[in-house]
């Protein structure tokens, strides 16, 4: 009896020991209780100490380990590969998967809700399996663009707004939102605008040149193109690059967050401190406000864009040798309704920046307009449109000449009472028609148009020996 009892006890003991030392392969955990089991979605790719982000790959990248199969499924780009697991080791909290029929191995180091995976070819990837951190859509038949749309709709806009709100961009009213996007982006109609793509809780301004809506849509979610996103739910502005990189924990996340914060602070609150930050850190965005959207109401932005254009066209002696295409869309542009848009605010800034010693911005624009008139830039302007542009420019020039009569400017010429003006030269080919065209358009509301007429009508048959030369207009007549 005692012998049978003892054998029974020993049997229970060995059974207990066996059950404690043997684990199912999917129950293996590190010292923190973390497991490799689950579906992991790509955040970033790591090369040594550097983090590389490839947005197109991000939406085609996942690693899946399930309990029903002892294998690791890897989707990387267009490849789907399954690796059969032979054995699993843990060294320094790193899972090491020895693969069957392969010299390769796969490793995984879990960091709470993320993990660093190293797959064959030494590709190191940071992944997450936390849905609220990365709302990756799991439908197998969903395209890459559909995944991006879903991520933006369900996760990215809400998360980004929460973070800029924490920085101090407090919520604005719908009225203030509409006023801001109309003032800065000239957007009032989102339904009939070929440059806009509408979605459930946001719309996208398609910033590339051109007015073919279907062609523009092809690059709507291309992170290399700064298409602008307007959230109609959270009432703020972002862009595709920021949202995609923010979703994927890009290493530039802090900068992107600050950039988004300062853009919104300027657009909706007209913060001059934020504008200073943008001037120092977000040059292309400010240039696009003037060139793409015709936003010419901010003298600091106008000056900034003029300075950049001028830096590209002056030599070491401050002479203008202009790369004329750099000035396209600065003074005027055309919208997708084929309307000419003249940036009168920029001309006002040129007027304010011009001094008795420095008239180089005026000269820069004049030399650009000479090439406009010669049609060498292929801008397809009608004569009426050219005359409107020239008269708008000439209105400012005449005011400056009157202001600086008898003053000497920086390049050695004179603002004097008898000089050849830019406007007279520009209108020379349109002497027989410009007044009638202007009258049809109520002189484009140019208040000193009569002075343009006086300058444009002067006659110059002055004979010196056998030569005729142009006698400059006497600007004192305008005083």
**How does residue 231 score in pLDDT terms, banded at 50, 70 and 90?**
very high
Q: Classify residue 331 by its DSSP letter.
A: S
Residue 324's nearest CA partner among 259, 372, 361, 387 is 372
Q: What's the pLDDT score for residue 9?
A: 53
Please tell me whether the overall predicted TM-score, pTM, comes out greater than 0.75 for this model: no
| Mean local confidence (pLDDT), 121-125 | 81
- The burial of 50, by beta-carbon neighbours within 10 Å (0-12 exposed, 13-18 middle, 19 or more buried), is given as exposed
**How does residue 450 score in pLDDT terms, banded at 50, 70 and 90?**
very high
Q: What are phi and psi of 432, to 5 degrees?
A: -85, -5
What are the tens digits of pLDDT across the range 193-211? 999 999 988 999 999 989 9
Strand partners, 464: 467
What are the tens digits of pLDDT across the range 461-473? 455 555 555 566 6
**Bigger pLDDT: 413 vs 338:** 338
**Bigger pLDDT: 469 vs 39:** 39
Quick check: 417 and 476 in contact, CB under 8 A?
yes
Q: What's the pLDDT score for residue 17?
A: 43
Q: Give me the helices (H) in 324-464, please.
A: 344-353, 360-373, 383-403, 422-426, 434-440, 449-457
Quick check: 164 and 236 in contact, CB under 8 A?
yes
Intervals of CATH 2.40.128 along the chain: 25-128
* Spatial separation of the C-alpha atoms in residues 318 and 361, rounded to whole Å: 12
Q: Give me the helices (H) in 127-271, please.
A: 144-151, 157-167, 174-185, 213-217, 240-247, 253-269
What are the tens digits of pLDDT across the range 345-384? 999 999 999 998 888 899 889 988 988 888 877 788 999 9
**How does residue 411 score in pLDDT terms, banded at 50, 70 and 90?**
very low
Strand partners, 109: 116
Q: Give me the helices (H) in 219-359, please.
A: 240-247, 253-269, 272-281, 283-291, 299-311, 344-353
**205: which residues sit within 8 A by CB, 6+ positions away?**
185, 187, 195, 196, 227, 228, 229, 230
**286 pLDDT more than 80:** yes
**429 pLDDT more than 70:** yes
**Bigger pLDDT: 267 vs 320:** 267
Quick check: 323 and 315 in contact, CB under 8 A?
no
Quick check: 150 and 142 in contact, CB under 8 A?
yes
**474 pLDDT more than 80:** no
**424 pLDDT more than 90:** no
**How does residue 107 score in pLDDT terms, banded at 50, 70 and 90?**
very high
CB atoms within 10 A of CB 162: 10
Q: What's the pLDDT score for residue 19?
A: 40
What are the tens digits of pLDDT across the range 165-197? 889 997 788 999 999 999 999 999 999 899 999
For 25-128, CATH gives 2.40.128
Mean per-residue pLDDT of the chain? 82
For 256, how many CA atoms within 13 A lie in the half-sphere containing its CB? 19
| Mean local confidence (pLDDT), 38-57 | 56
| Mean local confidence (pLDDT), 337-349 | 94
Residue 373's nearest CA partner among 359, 360, 358, 388 is 388
Q: What's the pLDDT score for residue 204?
A: 96
**291 pLDDT more than 90:** yes
Quick check: 235 and 185 in contact, CB under 8 A?
no
Percentage of residues in the chain having pLDDT higher than 70 = 78
| Mean local confidence (pLDDT), 308-332 | 74
Quick check: 397 and 362 in contact, CB under 8 A?
yes
**Bigger pLDDT: 14 vs 232:** 232
As given in the structure block, the two tokens for residue 313 are 């066209």
> Angle formed by the axes of helices 240-247 and 157-167, to 10°?
100
Sign (positive/negative) of CA torsion 261, 267, 269, 271? positive
Q: What's the pLDDT score for residue 132?
A: 42
Q: Give me the helices (H) in 74-173, please.
A: 144-151, 157-167
Q: What's the pLDDT score for residue 51?
A: 43
Quick check: 457 and 402 in contact, CB under 8 A?
no
Q: What's the pLDDT score for residue 67?
A: 87
What are the tens digits of pLDDT across the range 128-139? 776 444 344 344
Residue 94's nearest CA partner among 125, 116, 119 is 116
Q: What's the pLDDT score for residue 250?
A: 66
């Amino acid at each position: 009896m005692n012998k049978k009892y003892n054998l029974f006890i020993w049997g229970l003991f060995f059974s207990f020991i066996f059950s404690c030392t043997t684990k199912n392969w999917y129950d293996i955990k590190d010292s923190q209780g973390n497991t490799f089991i689950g579906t992991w979605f790509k955040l970033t790719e790591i090369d040594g100490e550097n983090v590389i982000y490839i947005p197109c790959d991000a939406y085609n990248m996942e690693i899946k380990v399930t309990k029903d199969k002892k294998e690791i499924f890897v989707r990387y780009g267009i490849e789907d590969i399954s690796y059969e697991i032979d054995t699993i080791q843990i060294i320094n909290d790193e899972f090491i998967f020895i693969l069957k029929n392969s010299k390769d191995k796969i490793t995984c180091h879990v960091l709470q809700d993320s993990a660093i995976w190293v797959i064959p070819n030494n590709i190191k990837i940071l992944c997450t399996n936390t849905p609220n951190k990365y709302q990756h859509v799991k439908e197998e038949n969903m395209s890459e663009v559909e995944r991006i749309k879903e991520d933006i709709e369900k996760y990215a806009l809400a998360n980004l707004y929460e973070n800029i709100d924490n920085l101090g961009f407090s919520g604005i009213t719908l009225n203030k939102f509409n006023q801001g996007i109309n003032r800065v982006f000239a957007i009032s109609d989102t339904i009939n605008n070929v440059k806009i793509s509408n979605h459930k809780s946001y719309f996208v301004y398609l910033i590339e040149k051109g007015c073919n809506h279907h062609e523009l849509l092809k690059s709507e979610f291309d992170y290399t193109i700064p298409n602008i996103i307007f959230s109609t739910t959270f009432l703020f502005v972002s862009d595709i690059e920021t949202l995609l990189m923010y979703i994927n924990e890009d290493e530039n996340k802090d900068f992107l967050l600050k950039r988004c914060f300062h853009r919104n602070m300027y657009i909706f609150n007209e913060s001059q401190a934020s504008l200073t930050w943008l001037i120092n850190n977000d040059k292309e965005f400010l240039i696009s406000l003037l060139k793409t959207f015709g936003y010419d109401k901010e003298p600091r932005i106008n000056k900034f864009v003029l300075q950049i254009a001028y830096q590209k066209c002056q030599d070491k002696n401050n002479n203008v040798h202009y790369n004329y295409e750099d000035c396209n869309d600065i003074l005027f542009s055309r919208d997708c309704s084929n309307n000419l848009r003249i940036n009168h605010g920029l001309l006002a800034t040129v007027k304010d920046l011009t001094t008795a010693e420095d008239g180089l911005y005026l000269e820069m624009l004049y030399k650009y307009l000479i090439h406009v008139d010669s049609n060498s830039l292929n801008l397809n302007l009608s004569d009426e449109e050219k005359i409107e542009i020239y008269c708008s420019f000439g209105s400012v020039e005449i005011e400056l000449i009157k202001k600086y009569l008898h003053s000497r400017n920086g390049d050695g010429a004179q603002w004097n009472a008898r000089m050849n003006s830019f406007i007279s030269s520009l209108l020379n080919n349109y002497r027989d028609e410009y007044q009638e065209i202007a009258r049809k358009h109520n002189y484009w509301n140019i208040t000193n148009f009569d002075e343009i007429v006086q300058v444009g009508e002067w006659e110059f048959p002055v004979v010196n020996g056998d030569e005729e030369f142009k006698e400059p207009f006497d600007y004192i007549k305008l005083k």
